[in-house]
């Protein structure tokens, strides 16, 4: 971070910006291919996604911020100077971090040399080593999770949910830091305890589509105690939702309201030791946004948690069939060893739709591939409807959505009709 103030990134391409000359102007990093747009500097704290790269090797998915010596590199060419202000906080990818932990700085240099594409000359290695050493020789202990990296999606299955939840709770209880901008530093133990108590929900593909569509039109709604399907809970959508690419959310009852946290998946594309360490130390999810909502506090349609609230509402309006998921045997055994009750995961699917049986007889909500991806929910709108004791309360209900498929695929109107009608006595609940 530069001494002049908060680090800036470009609002257009989300790349952290360098400074040029004195007084400084903000420029794109020289190595970055842009479409020629002018940088639009905004403080990084205003962005949920930042296109940062590993300051050691250039990898596009950094995971840890490390603190060390203050490093400024100055490149001079053709009379102008480019100040690359690495500062005293560096981003590290999982692979570099693993190598550094193992005392293998040489392997970090290998990665950097490969990225630069300058060829493996002793002089190149020497310069990079000097630069890294200036930082590493003054490194302080501790590390902070980078929560703004937009990782490719990791597919999470219902059976893994207890393990994912437990690892996340473990991370909250651990020593690794989270960015202060999330505002949950003081609440970590409370969030971990909430996760231990939480009901777990896995949202199938169709219900995820429906929830995302409904979220885009969500009216302002007060969030009360009776809205979520459980006091404390965690849900995983079968794919990332909204432009923020959120895959999971948790909520914790805090007595005076709820702490909501939204998560992205991390670690896609890693393998070997780097992946193993990441799963062990962090898990599958990184918190990207958090909000504490006092009881009956209203949220608006544009709120980052709109997809979570839309999912709650759709469950509350009984648009969902909720059934148990099969849990991996190893997870059940792990729970038994530590005297915990076997975990329960509830699968949420659109009411009236049959789970697709797979070859081994298990049910896979949403089915496998094929036309599934190309159908989506259209139309639909929210309307305030009475509910609660003597129907004195009002709550938005999502009316009239329907599922559209490709021209050659049948439009399954029956799905919509059944969802909106009262439950029909069919043989749908076999699973
Ligand atoms: Zn830009
Ligand atoms: Zn790296």
Span from the CA of 128 to the centroid of ligand 2 (angstroms): 13
For residue 14, being part of any structural domain is answered with yes
For residue 150, being part of any structural domain is answered with no
Span from the CA of 20 to the centroid of ligand 1 (angstroms): 15
Q: In this structure, are 85 and 170 located in the same domain?
A: no
Strand 345-350 relative to strand 320-324: parallel, antiparallel, unpaired? Answer: antiparallel
pLDDT in tens, 170-215: 999 999 999 999 999 999 999 999 999 999 999 998 889 888 888 8
Question: Which ligand lies nearest the alpha carbon of 110?
Answer: 2
Span from the CA of 276 to the centroid of ligand 2 (angstroms): 16
Q: What is the mean pLDDT of residues 88-114?
A: 95
For residue 151, being part of any structural domain is answered with no
Q: Tell me how far apart the alpha carbons of residues 125 and 113 are, in angstroms, rounded to a whole number.
A: 7
Q: In this structure, are 244 and 355 located in the same domain?
A: yes
Average pLDDT, the chain: 82
- Please tell me which residue, 320 or 5, carries the higher pLDDT value: 320
Question: Which ligand lies nearest the alpha carbon of 40?
Answer: 1
Task: Indicate the number of domains in the chain.
Answer: 2
Question: Which ligand lies nearest the alpha carbon of 42?
Answer: 1
Question: Which ligand lies nearest the alpha carbon of 146?
Answer: 2
Question: Which ligand lies nearest the alpha carbon of 10?
Answer: 1
Task: Determine which helix (DSSP H) or strand (DSSP E) holds 309, and give its type and residue range.
Answer: helix 306-316
Span from the CA of 77 to the centroid of ligand 2 (angstroms): 27
Out of 145, 180, 215, a domain closes at: 145
Residue 21 has pLDDT above 90, yes or no: no
Q: In this structure, are 300 and 370 located in the same domain?
A: yes
Span from the CA of 150 to the centroid of ligand 1 (angstroms): 16
Q: In this structure, are 45 and 180 located in the same domain?
A: no
| pLDDT value of position 422 | 30
For residue 227, being part of any structural domain is answered with yes
Span from the CA of 2 to the centroid of ligand 1 (angstroms): 19
Asked if residues 132 and 74 have their Cβ atoms less than 8 Å apart, the reply is no
Span from the CA of 366 to the centroid of ligand 2 (angstroms): 37
Q: In this structure, are 102 and 180 located in the same domain?
A: no
Span from the CA of 36 to the centroid of ligand 1 (angstroms): 8
For residue 153, being part of any structural domain is answered with no
Question: Which ligand lies nearest the alpha carbon of 60?
Answer: 2
Residue 2: partners with Cβ closer than 8 Å, 6 or more residues away: 19, 85, 87
Asked if residues 341 and 335 have their Cβ atoms less than 8 Å apart, the reply is yes
**Near ion ligand 2, which residues have CB within 5 Å?**
54, 56-57, 59, 93, 96
Q: In this structure, are 130 and 275 located in the same domain?
A: no
Q: In this structure, are 164 and 141 located in the same domain?
A: no
Out of 98, 121, 145, a domain closes at: 145
Q: Among 172, 165, 16, 11, which Cα is nearest to 86's?
A: 16
Q: In this structure, are 137 and 183 located in the same domain?
A: no
Question: Which ligand lies nearest the alpha carbon of 111?
Answer: 2
Which residue in this structure is represented by tokens 């700085």?
105
For residue 264, being part of any structural domain is answered with yes
For residue 428, being part of any structural domain is answered with no
Span from the CA of 240 to the centroid of ligand 1 (angstroms): 25
Asked if residues 184 and 287 have their Cβ atoms less than 8 Å apart, the reply is yes
CA atoms within 13 A on the CB side of 336: 7
Q: In this structure, are 127 and 256 located in the same domain?
A: no
For residue 1, being part of any structural domain is answered with no
Q: Tell me how far apart the alpha carbons of residues 216 and 399 are, in angstroms, rounded to a whole number.
A: 14
Asked if residues 277 and 262 have their Cβ atoms less than 8 Å apart, the reply is no
Phi/psi for 69 (5° steps) reads: -65, 150
Span from the CA of 127 to the centroid of ligand 1 (angstroms): 28
Span from the CA of 35 to the centroid of ligand 1 (angstroms): 8
Question: Which ligand lies nearest the alpha carbon of 29?
Answer: 1
pLDDT in tens, 302-333: 888 999 999 999 998 887 889 999 888 888 89
Out of 101, 121, 145, a domain closes at: 145
Q: In this structure, are 198 and 83 located in the same domain?
A: no
- For residue 388, name the pLDDT band (cuts at 50, 70, 90): confident
Task: Determine which helix (DSSP H) or strand (DSSP E) holds 207, and give its type and residue range.
Answer: helix 205-215
Q: In this structure, are 345 and 270 located in the same domain?
A: yes
Residue 79 has pLDDT above 80, yes or no: no
Per-residue three-class SS string for 151-168: CCCCCCCHHHHHHHHHHH
Question: Which ligand lies nearest the alpha carbon of 270?
Answer: 2
- For residue 242, name the pLDDT band (cuts at 50, 70, 90): confident
pTM for the predicted model, two decimal places: 0.83
Between the CA of residue 230 and those of 36, 192, 345, 403, what are the distances in Å?
Answer: 50, 16, 13, 28
Domain containing residue 105: 8-145
Span from the CA of 25 to the centroid of ligand 2 (angstroms): 27
Q: In this structure, are 264 and 316 located in the same domain?
A: yes
Span from the CA of 222 to the centroid of ligand 2 (angstroms): 44
């Amino acid at each position: 971070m530069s001494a002049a103030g908060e680090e800036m990134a470009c609002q257009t391409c989300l790349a952290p910006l360098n400074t040029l000359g004195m007084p400084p102007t903000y420029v794109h990093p020289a190595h970055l291919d842009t479409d020629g747009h002018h940088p639009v500097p905004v403080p990084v704290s205003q962005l949920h996604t930042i296109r940062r790269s590993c300051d050691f090797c250039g990898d596009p998915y950094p995971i840890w911020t490390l603190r060390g010596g203050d490093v400024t590199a100055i490149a001079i060419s053709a009379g102008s100077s480019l100040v690359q202000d690495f500062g005293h906080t560096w981003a590290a990818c999982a692979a570099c971090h693993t190598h550094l932990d193992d005392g293998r700085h040489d392997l970090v240099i290998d990665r950097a040399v490969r990225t630069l594409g300058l060829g493996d000359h002793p002089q190149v290695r020497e310069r990079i080593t000097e630069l890294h050493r200036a930082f590493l020789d003054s490194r302080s202990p501790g590390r902070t999770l980078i929560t703004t990296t937009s990782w490719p999606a990791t597919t999470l299955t219902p059976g893994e949910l207890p393990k994912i939840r437990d690892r996340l709770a473990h991370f909250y209880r651990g020593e690794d830091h989270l960015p202060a901008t999330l505002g949950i530093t003081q609440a970590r133990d409370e969030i971990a305890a909430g996760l231990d108590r939480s009901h777990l929900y896995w949202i199938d593909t169709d219900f995820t589509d429906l929830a995302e569509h409904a979220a885009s039109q969500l009216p302002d709604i007060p969030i009360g105690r009776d809205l979520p399907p459980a006091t404390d809970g965690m849900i995983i959508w079968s794919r990332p939702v909204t432009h923020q690419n959120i895959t999971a959310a948790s909520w914790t009852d805090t007595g005076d309201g709820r702490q909501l946290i939204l998560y992205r998946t991390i670690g896609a594309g890693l393998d070997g030791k780097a992946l193993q360490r990441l799963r062990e130390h962090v898990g599958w999810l990184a918190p990207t946004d958090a909000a504490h909502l006092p009881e009956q506090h209203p949220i608006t349609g544009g709120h980052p948690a709109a997809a979570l609230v839309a999912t709650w509402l759709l469950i509350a309006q009984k648009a969902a069939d909720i059934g148990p998921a099969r849990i991996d045997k190893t997870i059940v055994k792990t729970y038994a060893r530590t005297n915990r009750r076997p975990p329960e995961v509830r699968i949420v699917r659109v009411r009236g739709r049959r789970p697709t049986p797979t070859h081994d007889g298990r049910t896979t909500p949403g089915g496998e591939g094929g036309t599934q991806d190309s159908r989506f929910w259209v139309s639909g709108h929210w309307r305030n409807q009475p509910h609660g004791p003597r129907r004195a309360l009002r709550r938005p209900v999502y009316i009239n959505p329907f599922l559209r498929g490709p021209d050659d695929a049948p439009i399954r109107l029956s799905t919509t009709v059944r969802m909106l009608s009262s439950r029909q006595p069919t043989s749908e609940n076999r699973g």
